[in-house]
Amino acid sequence: MAEPIAFPSTTANFSLPLLFAGQAQKEFVLNHSLQAIDALLQNSVGDSISSPPATVENGATYRVAENASGSWAGHDGDIAMAIGGAWVFVSPLDGMMIYDRAARRHLLYDGGWKSATAPAAPIGGAVIDIEARAMLSALIEALRGIGIIA
């Protein structure tokens, strides 16, 4: 006789809850998953902060900054989503990109959140070609640093 198939209770990547046969009150699990998908699908967060805001709307998302406190303690680097009056946390995966609307910058997760920093503009000098090459090299390295170029 074949072994029965065992299905997991959550999705592989973001641990969204899955329905199972005979489950009571399926609408709670389904609604929770849809709310989380809705929050993650936009690929942006309102801000990167270390403690929960005093007031928040359902569906709001934040990147939990270092040294998180309060109900966010222990969730440094996670994405915090306000769902049904509670905070739900999603751990980022390598390659995940988000846009921080408050900082107006893109962030890439690769073992930690990274963002490109603008290279210093060349100033002065007698040989412009050398400065231009150095500037281009710095720009290329900054783009590599956030995974825009390989």
Q: Provide the sign of the torsion angle of the four alpha carbons 77, 107, 39, 102, taken in this order.
A: positive
Tell me what pLDDT residue 150 has: 60
Tell me what pLDDT residue 1 has: 57
pLDDT of 23 over the 90 cut = no
Q: What is the pLDDT of residues 91-139, one digit of tens each?
A: 999 999 999 999 888 999 999 999 887 777 677 666 678 878 888 888 8
Q: Are 57 and 81 in contact (CB under 8 A)?
A: no
